[in-house]
Structure 1
Amino acid sequence: MKEQPAITDTSSRLNRDIELAPAVKAQESAICSQVIAYCNEVLDRSRFFCLLKAGAITPPMMQYTFLQYHHWRDRLHRWFGLCIVKADSCIDPDQKSAIMSLADHTFTDLQDGHNEMYAEFLYDLGLSDAEIMASQPSAATASYERSFFDEFGYESDNFYEALAALSGRELCVSIRNARIMQSYFDAHGMKHPIWLSLHAKLEVNHFQDSIRPVLTHYDGDSTKLKNVIKAVEGGIKRHIQYFDDLLHEYEFKADIKQK
């Protein structure tokens, strides 16, 4: 087993000590609570996470799911890149803040060796380097990667909504990881993988980094804020759907092998 990297805080270059306007701060707190509640609702409805809670997700299912997640995660920077491309101005304060948060997230992920942490996570699931290298992206993975581009394509005028959807996925990852650690790793008496535990905390910061420029830009515009909530919830729902799609895919392939 390779030596695991130490858990560290983000190497972020962002200044997170900047005080928000009281109205924006209150809006962020309200949205955060609403998003957490919605994420838990979607997780509770998910077949994958219901089976996980019941202890019915087997090691091969976990291996298949997170091998595929590895392929999607390897190209997540393209989602951040799309948002950066959709920003019209690096002078506008809100867009500048958003661009910086997107670039910082990508930098942090690569600088802090999160890819290596994820590889260690796959080893913890019992996978070998040979199995990781032999894996190929599935139809469910390709569909999920494409979904962000389908909804927030380059030509569409929805920069802040795309940013909101991305932020929703970030916060959902924190809640999702906590459930995985409790329902799978704790249930099997296994140590918590560094990648899971770190991102259970780190993604809360990433959510705030992404949603704050949106809330600042739409401060006082109730119609736009409703669209923001819709985008956030859409990002969460599609993310959890990806796990259900992978479960269906795994079961279909397993059934084919048995016939």
Structure 2
Amino acid sequence: MPLSELVRYFNAADSAGQSTLYPEGKRVAAWHDGLHLASRFQPIVDLAQERIVGHQATLAVRSEDGTPLSPETAYERCSSPESIVHFDRLCRTLHALNFLAQQRYAGGYLQLAIHPRHLLAVQSQHGLVYEAILKRCGLAPEDIVLDIDAVGIGTDQRLDTALANYRRRGYRLALRQTALATDLLQRLQPAIVRLNEIGPPDTVDRPEPLYFELSGIDNTDTLVAARAAGIQLGQGRLFGEPAADCRPTHNERRVAYNSQIPTGDPT
């Protein structure tokens, strides 16, 4: 389905009329509660091969007068469980549409945050509605890594239920946690653990398969140190700043730029 038709479809599906998706150049933006919302993408790199394997989506927020705001400020406006579910799903729909718009040259997976309040607000069938949204965009749960901040949720049983539902539907999970604990990893079963600094991968009894991803790789010294620590994935200014456009991973004939062997079927 063309991007313009998808925008019309999702706007019509929002029966409450709380938000509006609209074309903005070659991308899609949204208005919600007086805020302008847009997508930014930062490449995620396989550190051993220096190959882009996915993109992290983040939310860019501006007020009506153009003042930049933090994503968390936008989330704080959501005062009820229903409003947080609507807004969080809107943001992930926006990211999926903008990722879809670049599929001719941007491959790999889409990694995007799901807000902890959303996890606790939905009672059952986590990921079902978003799976339907993804299918409209020609994507599937297997194309998505859900980035989850477990700090503050801790031992709440609803977190276990939510993550089990997402895994059952085929989503992969990336866990952000300040204190890496083997029991936590075994309980929540993430595919990826996200680190803000080079930490203890070699000292954690990690379930297999499990990948560690480091943020803030801004120079070659950090890259070398991350490799030495056994960290497999990374993102940072060394590989590219967050931008409206994904970093290309292949040309329009589906040949990977960083591969000496043509891959995929020419289109």
Comparing both structures, which one devotes a greater share of its residues to strand? Answer: 2
**Fold shared per TM-score above 0.5:** no
Query: Normalising TM by the smaller chain, what interval?
Result: under 0.3
Larger relative contact order (C-alpha < 8 A, sep ≥ 6)?
1
Q: TM-score, normalised by structure 1?
A: 0.22
